[in-house]
Structure 1
Amino acid sequence: MDASHSKLPSTSWTLDHVKTAISRGIEISSARSGVDVVDIDDGCIVKYGRVVRAREAEATELVAAHTSIPVAQIHATLYDEVTSTTYIVQDKIHGERLDKLLPTLDDEKLQVIEKELQLIFSQLSSLDMHGSMGMVGNSSYLDFHPFAVDHLGSWKATTALDFVTWIVDATNTATDITVFKPMDSDIFDDKKPHIFSHGDLVPENILIHDGHISGIIDWEYARWYPYFWNAYIALRRPLVDSRWMRMICNIMVTYNRERKVFSDVYGTADSWVGT
């Protein structure tokens, strides 16, 4: 064990220290452009890259402080202005990804995970923020594709219809043509409050150890979203694993109409104004 980076308090981590630890560590993930994850020993990993944002650490700490959801402890968040790179030092959570385990789990083990997952969704939804949907620390902005495109402008959505209408109007303005037809406003229930969501809670981001959920990872898309967001994310892929689909349908309302309309809107916006 290298005591030079052994669980240092956040005030002790420096960029030089983190970079040295990375150079001696073992890369465990480099699946996406601009994001790397390195095991630096002693139970810590560093997630870093030019598209990594400090808000991921802020969201993780918010969840840790107000729920019992298993998340990594954040030790430090550092930013290198020269390379425009953010570094998040955090605990390594032991476990295997649920997507790799799904084909091997019997019904009894699936039921255990299903109950734990239901509690996780419930606790996330209880994290209230009065006002608009948006990021932790900034309730008038979403900073991921295609929402981060500058010419879409700022927004302040307080209902699901506000949220979807903003995307429609901004896309039409940005493209200078009518991309969308008018929507049926009755599709979205403005009486339903927005929810705090992981933003990408799919099997790849759920770790399992000894038959239980040991950790939820990668909180980069965690935000306050419209009420149908968890169902939209969980079921948005064309080929969803049947066992995962059954779990999701058992633990939440799937909002089929809302998901269909939003999927069409989001896909069109992504095609026309995304970068």
Structure 2
Amino acid sequence: MLSLEGKIVLITGLGQTQPGGWGIGAAIAVLLARQGAKIFGGNRTIASTISTKKAIEEAGGVCDILETDVTSSKSVEALVKACMEKHGRIDILVNNVGRSEPGCPATMSEEVWDSQIEINLRSVFLTCHHVLPIMEKQGAGAVVSVASIAGLRYIGKPQVGYSATKAAIMQFMKATAVIYAPKGVRLNTVVPGLMDTPYTKSLVGRYATDGGHEEYMKMRNAQVPMGSMGDAWDVAHAALFLVSDEAKYITGQKIVVDGGITSSTGRA
């Protein structure tokens, strides 16, 4: 079940923002490697991917990393070309780059807005722009992008750029899935809720009130009907299913991994 033996995975954003837990991209890369896939990753810095690469290789897997600026077409093209030169194909594409900045339309600077579009949305367009022609030629492929429930509802903090781009990712994937369905290529989205990851801890400085880290994390846990945040592995297992052959008849869809928060009236 859920075997990826021999599959080539191109994934962006598999580094760790800080120590002390697994980030979503790193968890996805490790889990897919455990299922037999060969990992080729693009990340802003090589240093932050050391733990990911080590975990994969110590378990007998294959993992190559290339420093990549996902907002640059030239850089993304170089990543795709390097993967093709080594493996000759790309079976799975995972888009996992994202950043949240606070602000509403009146307070967010144009520069921050533009950077949110570049990092969160343009990155998905660029990887698909360079990878989908390869998958079409192969006659097969699976793409998964990581969005957020912030693209589905307000989750208690002003982050209009992040919310808008994450909503756009879901529609981008849905529309593209219809276009590529006759070509044997599937595109789906994983939509995480409130997750306890190293990146979450980095948000404290941007969104926490006087209570600091402890109160911020307690507030996030309290928002979830199941009583606590999920983790990166919860998201990774959803991504694994969507890229597997067991999901061969699923395209243009999203799996929400949120402990029930988007089914609730909310406790923000």
So what's the TM-score if we normalise by structure 1?
0.26
Higher helix proportion (structure 1 or 2): 2
So what's the TM-score if we normalise by structure 2?
0.27
Q: Name the structure, 1 or 2, with higher relative contact order (CA <8 Å, separation 6+).
A: 2
